[in-house]
Chain A
Amino acid sequence: MPHHVKSKALSHLRICDFTGQLAGAGATKFMAAFGAEVIRIEDPSNQGRWDILRGMPPYVDDRRGNELGGPFNNHNVGKLGITLNIKTEKGRELFERLVAISDCVTENFSSGVMRSWGYDYDALKEIREDIIYVSNCGFGHSGPYEKFKTWGPIVQATSGLTMSSALPDQPPAGWGYSYMDHTGAYFMAMAIMLAIHHRNRTGEGQYVDVAATEAALTLNGPVLLDYTVNGRPLRRDGYPDANHSVSPAMAPHNIYAAKPIPGSFDEAWIAIACRNDEDWHAMRDVLVADGCDWAANDDYGQLSGRMAAQDELDERIGEWCLRRDPYQSTDLLREVGVPANPVQTPEQRIDQDVNSAEARLWPTIRQAEMGRLRVDGIPAHFTKTDWSMTRGAATLGEDNDYVYGELLGLSQDEIAGLYEEGVL
């Protein structure tokens, strides 16, 4: 069963995995797609509900239940699933045997949970000298906020990402989802693999402390240097101004209302960015040919003039954009080399964009109870060890026989006994 992933890129690695939700689960999902044997441990005493996404909507049909949650399946594709009650003596013994044959232990609990079980890095190192232990929590495992709790929106709020996503004179718009759960998981995957490369070179394992807030802080670099070097804060009049571009300076650069597409939503939007004077001159010609004489104004010919008159430009371009649906205007502008694109809905970008099929982006997997459905794939392809996804999230304890039987050598009777004792 476990050899359902074709890639050999990471097939020599085994991860003993406590991660969940998206901030942790996303990291080991990526590695599982490249062949790493990810053994995800769930607590049988609460049916794995530490992961609050287990059983959560959306659902594929009218059925509801612990194994039927769409997000949980999406984030745990390709991993093995076992049950283990680590608060029992036998559970601890089995966990330690698993650590002894694993390269890495991963978790995204609140700070201190692993320590409370007696498994900090030093304890794990006693079990396996070169173990790599990677934790991922909002504020990290030290500092004044170590005990504070977070989830994606809180990470985004405290790191500056929520504030920097706004229009002038409006409250923060923020991110309409947990951008930093995805991205925190990316940084966790990087950290795991960096530590493995270090081990490959030196034989040393290590502890890695990933704090999603700190990863987030690194994603506003030029704004931060403008502050530390020039003393110019982002919190100032007229800012943030996320749909305009001051770094680099571009104008026009905005998202404009367009004519709605019949049968779709009653709103539609188009993004337009003139990177330089050449782009503007091309766009100007399109506008003038469409009867917008105002666009020929020489004041707009150079970037400085367009930056100074940005609001006026936006208003007039906004009127022009209402003449057509966003795909039609995009075609007109793209034809002359100007960056433009509809703000695509999920349906448009997933099912109607030719790039989805080209990129083989939404693989269909099979999950034991949900059946066949599509999930987020990986936006890269390798010539020799490409990823694959075929198997959905494991149901509770789906791989107990393989892990406890084949990997740890327990007999069927012993495994049955562990179920009875509440260890599995």
Chain B
Amino acid sequence: MATNADPLAMMALDDLRVLEIGDERGAWCGKLLADMGADVIKIEPPDGDPSRQYEPFVDDEPHHERSLFFWYYNTSKRSVVMNFDDRSNADAFLKLVESADIIFDTNTYDPVGRLGIDYHQIMSDNPGLIWCTITNFGFGSVRDDEPHTDLTLAANGGFAWMNGYDDHSLPPVRGGGQQAYHTGSNYAFMSILTALLHRDATGVGQHINVNINASVNVTTEAGSYSWLVSHSTVQRQTGRHAGVAPSMPSQIKCADGRYVNTGIPPRRPAEFGLCYDWLEAEGLLDELPEAALLQVGAELESFSLADVFRGDNEELLAIFGAGREAFDLLASKLTAYEFFTKAQNFGFQVGVIHSPEEALEDPHFVDRGMQVTVEHPELGREVIYPGAPYRLTRGSWGITRRPPLLGEHTDEVMSGL
């Protein structure tokens, strides 16, 4: 099977076997392990992982081998089907466990209870085993029995409170892409690596209890520390940081109807000068009567936003206003992409607001190899996947195989035990 990974090259985790026992909440953790070379064996129930039924499907034809959701989160893994309701599988399961370095589970299928085996016995028989449990509120929580999804966890843990619009008649916004689950999985992978380095040094494994709600809670920046430090509460604003007090808009619509994030507009003397130069380069000086103020600003010895916001210096206010006017004028004449690249070339921290697919096709990311081709021979297709989240120069990232067919590796794995 042709993939992007060099079959002869070493990968950082290709000395490890991992059992993945769980649902979509942990699949991202499994992909992070598998794409670094770990032999991740996904144990699926006989009717397959539920996410095999998730939209979207290849050509919109629903089928358990055509879910693009399942595909994305299960690259580089192998699939073994095992029925945990059949207690005669207990020995086979224990043999699989013996062959593994790491198990992670989302407490969905409960192999220990259903197969009638003893967790403590497993841990004492396999002293180097790392077993990571990823659950909504932590294994053993009093909230364990509550039903949840990515949306309700994002609401409970704080993501939703942070995101939305200046207009508070519009609801808070979850943020796309199941980021609550991602964040739990990110912490699971970091925790597994931490335990792995300890095991490298001592040979000792252990159990790790990862909590998705808690992961969301500590991934809200000022949302949490404003409360922890000063008992103040941030509130959502369109396209910029939620604030205890309202701040200035930072999203501008450009000539092509698309948006840029301007971060903080010109606020240092040199930046007023650059802003003037940019207007001049675009031939727009005549269209901005306030342009002369930018030259005044460029000559100032210092300029601080605190001085502006005190509001008692009209000249400073006017200079700052001229910088914002200049950005608005430039945006009205340029596409969002032009505004972004030109602003950055003048040294301004500005970002074009790409859709995900525009980002994947952006020349920078294409140049850096973010499009990775994976062959799906059953469909006679080569499929482009997003590439590496980090670039190790030794033992590096790669998709070693397309996502597995249901039970594709059951015989091969079980006969190898």
Across-interface contacts of B242 in A (CB, < 8 A) = 176-177
Contact with A along B144-185 (1 / 0, CB 8 A): 001111011111111011111100101111111101001110
A3 within 8 A of B: no
Q: Kindly state whether residue A338 has any CB partner on chain B within 8 Å.
A: yes
Interchain CA distance A142-B149 in the complex, whole Å: 38
**Does A117 interact with chain B (Cβ within 8 Å)?**
no
Determine whether the beta carbon of A157 is less than 8 Å from that of B261: yes
Q: Is the CB of A248 within 8 A of B176?
A: no
Whole-angstrom distance between the alpha carbons of A272 and B148 in the complex?
Answer: 9
Q: Chain B residue with minimal CB distance to A350?
A: B227
A176 and B384: CB pair below 8 A?
Answer: no
Q: Does A10 contact B (CB under 8 A)?
A: yes
Given A140-B391, A177-B220, A186-B190, A197–B197 Cβ distance below 8 Å? yes
Residue A2 interfacial (CB < 8 Å): no
CB of B353 within 8 A of CB of A58, answer: no
Is there a chain B Cβ closer than 8 Å to A415's Cβ? no
Interface centre among B250, B348, B386 (most CB of A within 10 A): B386
Option from A160, A218, A349 in Cβ contact (under 8 Å) with B354: A160
Cβ 8 A contact of B175, one of A10, A149, A155, A161: A161
- Does B332 count as interface, using CB distance less than 8 angstroms? no
User: Which residues does chain A contribute within 8 Å of B218, judged by CB atoms?
Assistant: 182, 361, 376-379
Determine whether the beta carbon of A153 is less than 8 Å from that of B223. no
Q: Would you call A217 and B147 a contact (CB within 8 A)?
A: no
Interface membership of chain B positions 333-368, coded 1 if the CB is closer than 8 angstroms to chain A and 0 otherwise: 000000010001001111111111111101111011
Task: Verify if B385 is at the interface (C-beta below 8 Å from A).
Answer: yes
Q: Report the Cα distance A197→B233, complex, angstroms.
A: 41
- The reply to whether A243 and B173 form a contact with Cβ atoms under 8 Å apart is yes
For residue A145, which residues in chain B have a CB less than 8 angstroms away from its CB? 344, 364
Closest to B138 in A: A359
Which of B157, B184, B386 lies in contact with A218, CB distance below 8 A? B386
Q: What's the nearest-Cβ distance from chain B to residue A365, in Å?
A: 11
- Quote the shortest CB–CB distance from B242 to chain A (angstroms): 4
Residues of A362-394 at the interface with B, using a CB-CB cut-off of 8 Å, are 362, 373-385
B238 at the interface (CB under 8 A from A): yes
Instruction: A221 to B27: give the CA distance in the assembly, Å.
Output: 12
Q: Does any Cβ of B come within 8 Å of A80's Cβ?
A: no
- What string of 1s and 0s marks CB contacts (under 8 Å) between A1-30 and chain B? 000000011101100000000100000001
Check if A34 is an interface residue, CB within 8 A of chain B: yes
Q: Contact: B359 with A174, CB < 8 Å?
A: no
Q: Which of B168, B240, B390 contacts A190 (CB 8 A)?
A: B390
Report the Cα distance A93→B251, complex, angstroms: 46
Q: Does B214 interact with chain A (Cβ within 8 Å)?
A: yes
| Stretch of B10-18, B91-99, B105-113 at the chain-chain interface | B10-18
Determine the distance from Cα of A182 to Cα of B222 in the docked complex, in whole angstroms: 11
A339 and B148 contacting across the interface, CB-CB below 8 Å: yes
Instruction: State A253–B221 Cα separation when bound (angstroms).
Output: 26
Decide if B228 touches A374 in the complex (CB within 8 Å).
yes
The stretch of A82-90, A205-213, A398-406 in contact with B is: A205-213
Closest to A165 in B: B175
> A58, B226: Cβ atoms under 8 Å?
yes
In the complex, whether B230 has a CB less than 8 A from a CB of chain A is yes
Across the interface, do B69 and A222 meet the contact criterion of CB distance under 8 Å? yes
- Contact B162–A198 (Cβ < 8 Å): no
> Is B229 within 8 A of A160, CB to CB?
no
- Asked if A143 contacts B171 (CB within 8 A), the reply is no
Whether B390 contacts A232 by the Cβ 8 Å rule is no
The answer to whether B229 touches A157, judged by C-beta atoms less than 8 angstroms apart, is no
- Which of B232, B250, B354, B381 meets A153, CB within 8 Å? B250
Bound CA span A256–B228, Å: 27
Question: Chain B interface: which of A43-51, A290-298, A340-348?
Answer: A340-348
Known: A145-B364, A271-B151. A383 touches B207 (CB 8 A): yes
Is B63 interfacial (CB 8 A cutoff)? no
Shortest CB-to-CB span from B378 to chain A, Å, is 14
The answer to whether A380 touches B226, judged by C-beta atoms less than 8 angstroms apart, is: no
Instruction: Establish whether residues B347 and A149, one from each chain, have CB atoms under 8 Å apart when the complex forms.
Output: yes
* Interface assignment of A313: CB less than 8 Å from any CB of chain B: no
A-contacting residues, B173-204, CB 8 Å:
173-177, 179, 182-184, 186-191, 193-198, 200-202, 204
Provide the residues of chain B in CB contact with A139, threshold 8 Å: 364
Partner of A345, one of B141, B233, B394: B233
B387 interface residue per 8 A CB criterion: yes
Complex CA gap A375/B383 in Å reads 44
Q: Check B211–A211 contact: CB distance below 8 A.
A: no
* Bound complex: CA A58 to CA B228 (Å): 9
> Which residues of A266-311 have CB atoms within 8 Å of chain B's CB atoms?
267, 269-273, 275, 279
Interface segment, one of B53-61, B265-273, B295-303, B407-415: B53-61
Q: Does B208 contact A (CB under 8 A)?
A: yes
The residues of A that contact B56 with a CB separation of less than 8 Å are 222, 225-226, 230, 232, 246-247
A178 to B236, CA, bound (A): 13
Inter-chain contact B172/A380, CB cutoff 8 Å: no
Cross-chain contact of A160 among B174, B260, B358 (Cβ < 8 A): B358
B393 within 8 A of A: yes
Chain A 187-223 interface mask (CB, 8 Å, partner B; 1/0): 1111101111110111010111111011101111111
CB 8 Å contact bits of B258-292 with A (1 = contact, 0 = none): 01110100000000000000000000000000000
CA distance A211 to B367 in the complex (A): 13
* Residues in B whose Cβ lies below 8 Å from that of A419: none
- The answer to whether A217 touches B72, judged by C-beta atoms less than 8 angstroms apart, is no
With contact pairs A8-B198, A275-B149 given, residues A353 and B156 touching in the complex (Cβ less than 8 Å): yes
Contact B217 A227 (CB under 8 A): no
- A227-B357, A347-B227 known, 16 other contacts, Cβ within 8 Å: A70-B229, A142-B367, A145-B344, A157-B352, A174-B240, A200-B200, A225-B385, A248-B53, A248-B69, A255-B155, A255-B174, A334-B147, A346-B233, A355-B214, A361-B214, A382-B194
18 contacts between A and B (CB under 8 A): A161-B177, A186-B187, A197-B193, A223-B357, A225-B383, A225-B385, A229-B383, A230-B56, A230-B68, A250-B149, A273-B151, A350-B227, A359-B211, A359-B213, A375-B228, A378-B187, A381-B138, A381-B208
